[in-house]
A and B are shown apart, each in its own frame.
Chain A
Amino acid sequence: MDLFELLNFYIVPGVVLGSIYALGAVGITLIFGILRYAHLAHGDLATLGAFLALAVVTGFGVSPYAALPVAILGTAAVAVGIDKVFYEHLRERPKIVTVMASLGIALMIRAVVQVVWGVDTQTYTRGIVRPEDYFGIRVRDRELYTILAMVVLVGVLQLFLTRSKWGKAMRAMSDNPNLALLSGIDNKKVVMLTWVIAGGLCAASGFFLGINTELKAMMGWHMLLPMFAAAILGGVGRVEGAVLGGLIVGVAEEVSVLFIPSEYKAAMAFAILLFMLLVRPTGLLKGKVL
């Protein structure tokens, strides 16, 4: 096998898949770092985002990319709403209770998707897209957009977290909640902001998975494990770590097909997760361990 074959069939799809995982993993790492629990409904929130975009596409006949901002806003609103209705009153209880609640939320979101959009697989657009050739590396437009969108969204988020007042407040809550609260940071606003960001990125992740493959009710649930593996691999609480982790998990899954039966592709994320917990639970970029 030559280098281009490896790049075209394994590395490029891996990076695309990795970008999709990264978008979700950033949200997971933020929630893990700031609110301090594992949010198990994250994958299904991504499913919801993907289907919201589908509703806009089929309802108004616009291009999928025009539907993306609507899906991002809609899912962010849903995420904030879920937090207000279901998670907020569990804040004083042990965090694991919220983890349990989020498992129930995952089931509920999926049920809503299945009731509203049915259980058949769907797509945003029909027809086959041929990849374009860039110096021997073949990439489809939508794959390019996926990677670009991930870089832009995470870049903007990183700027927000490091430069703006509220971004700094979020990082402060992640580093030391007691000290942050003492210095007068409004916990409620930080929590809300976290959900807006996590929900929005979730929708983007689901949308790009949908546009690169297809939409189905279980699409998000199957992304949950790789997204968590990415967040832990990169280091919990580290945004750039989640991106790095996402890319590694995505590429590892695609390349693994060369060595193990393709049915077990999904097991790669699990193997990475256990391996990291075993040898370096803080992740590649020194994150937190809860």
Chain B
Amino acid sequence: MELLGLVNYALFMAIFICIYALLALGLNIQWGFAGLFNAGIAGFFAVGAYTSAIISTPPADGRIGGFDLHFVVGWIAAMLAAALVAWPIGKICLRFRSDYLAIATIGIAEIIRLVIKSEPALTNGARGISSIPRPAGDLAYMESQIAYLVIVLAVLIAVYFLVERQFNAPWGRMMRAIRDNEDAAKAMGKNVEFRRLEAFIFGAALMGLGGALFAHFNRSITPEAIDPMVATFLIWIMLILGGSGNNRGAILGAAVVWIIWSVSEIATDRLPTEYAVQAKYIRLFLIGLMLQLVLRFRPEGLLPEPLRGDQRVTKSGTDQS
């Protein structure tokens, strides 16, 4: 019985790692490839989660939809919706340095949070949307967990190969050129703003997909399901620790950080209640400290970005204006 519980927990964790890995890959396109600072990951995640929920749930009273369509339609719609939210933000902010994008994405995540809370016609308010169909959800508990893990893993592998291919393609080379030396890339005739917009939208679409996978796994989505700051920050530390610019690093980082994060949660849950609340915030403090330490002592992450071609001088990103 103990063993069964352990296997169940491992499955649960593996599914979450896959979902977070997907989000980290999305962020890697934005930050690792293009140097764009997205501090509103949770916003795009939520847009994806709610879009897919609305599309695939059976019709319900008091809110738009559900349209009772196949979950694949929901997932595609989630990606489109997240991309659609990213487009105007990118359009306005990508002309400037990434600091402006950071502020604007914090803003958009905040607005999305407000919309979710105060538009019951769209999101069913605080109760959230439930009875979201889960692929292979009719099976027994264990089989259904395994089946979902297989599906999520398949999505992750497919996305990994697509992103990896882009990374090695001329497009990826061009993105890194823009990231490392914007002026030179411009002089070579690259449309810097448009290319950045591409990277921003691709990344956001992946985050939307991650949100959809999360909603279908939980069978429900509520405003409380995602703490914007914590979710966003966890994905950042995953990418930075794993190695930004390296897709395998992003996945490794997701696994390492998520394991640390959830194991420490088990540890603090055993504390008496008066310390448990404080322990939660101490964990947050430590995860923030972890970022500072990685930035200071191993900024390239566990798996550094692979260097190609001329390896003599690789001092990247001198953007002092």
Contacts and interface: CB of A to CB of B under 8 A. Distances in A.
Contact of A100 (B236, B281, B319): B236
Contact of A94 (B106, B281, B288, B318): B318
B141 interface: no
Nearest to A28: B103
Interface in B9-49: 35, 37, 39
A228 interface: yes
Nearest to B39: A103
A266 B92 contact: no
Interface stretch (B111-119, B160-168, B186-194, B265-273): B111-119
Given A107-B229, A263-B117, A264-B114, A97 B285 contact: no
B106 A115 contact: no
B104 to A, nearest CB: 7
Interface in B300-317: 316-317
B281 A103 contact: no
17 contacts: A36-B320, A40-B39, A40-B102, A40-B103, A90-B296, A94-B317, A99-B99, A100-B295, A108-B284, A111-B285, A263-B114, A266-B114, A269-B107, A270-B104, A270-B111, A289-B96, A290-B99
Nearest to A227: B103
Interface stretch (A50-58, A160-168, A194-202, A274-282): A274-282
Contacts of A90: 295-296
Interface in A79-119: 86, 89-90, 93-97, 99-101, 103-108, 110-112, 114-115, 118-119
Contacts of A36: 320-321
A101 B287 contact: no
B99 A274 contact: no
A273 B103 contact: yes
A136 interface: no
Interface residues on B, range: 35 or more
Given A264-B118, A273-B104, A277-B93, A111 B282 contact: yes
B291 interface: yes
A95 B118 contact: no
A23 interface: no
Contacts of B296: 86, 89-90
Contact of A281 (B89, B96, B107, B111): B96
Given A89-B296, A115-B282, A267 B98 contact: no
A207 interface: no
A205 B99 CA distance: 23
Q: Which of B96, B99, B102, B320 has the most CB of A within 10 A?
A: B99
A225 interface: yes
A113 to B, nearest CB: 9
Given A103-B39, A115-B281, A221-B229, A97 B299 contact: yes
Contact of A108 (B99, B288, B321): B288
A204 interface: no
A127 interface: no
B229 A95 contact: no
Instruction: Give 4 nearest A-B pairs by CB, closest first.
Output: A111-B285, A108-B288, A38-B99, A263-B118
A112 B114 contact: no
Interface of A: 32, 36-38, 40, 86, 89-90, 93-97, 99-101, 103-108, 110-112, 114-115, 118-119, 221-222, 224-225, 228, 232, 261, 263-264, 266-267, 269-270, 273-274, 277-278, 281, 289-290
B203 to A, nearest CB: 16
Nearest to B319: A94
Given A32-B99, A106-B229, A266-B111, 10 more contacts: A40-B103, A100-B37, A100-B236, A103-B39, A104-B233, A107-B229, A110-B284, A270-B107, A270-B110, A273-B103
Contacts of A281: 95-96
A228 B114 contact: no
A277 B281 contact: no
B252 interface: no
Contacts of B277: 118-119
Interface in B225-280: 229, 233, 236-237, 240, 277-278
Contacts of A119: 277
A99 B98 CA distance: 9
B315 to A, nearest CB: 10
B278 A115 contact: yes
Contacts of B104: 270, 273-274, 277
Nearest to B93: A277
B92 A225 contact: no
Contacts of B288: 104-108, 111
B233 A95 contact: no
A224 B97 contact: no
Contacts of A274: 89, 92, 104, 107
Nearest to B285: A111
Contacts of B291: 100-101, 104
A49 B292 CA distance: 22
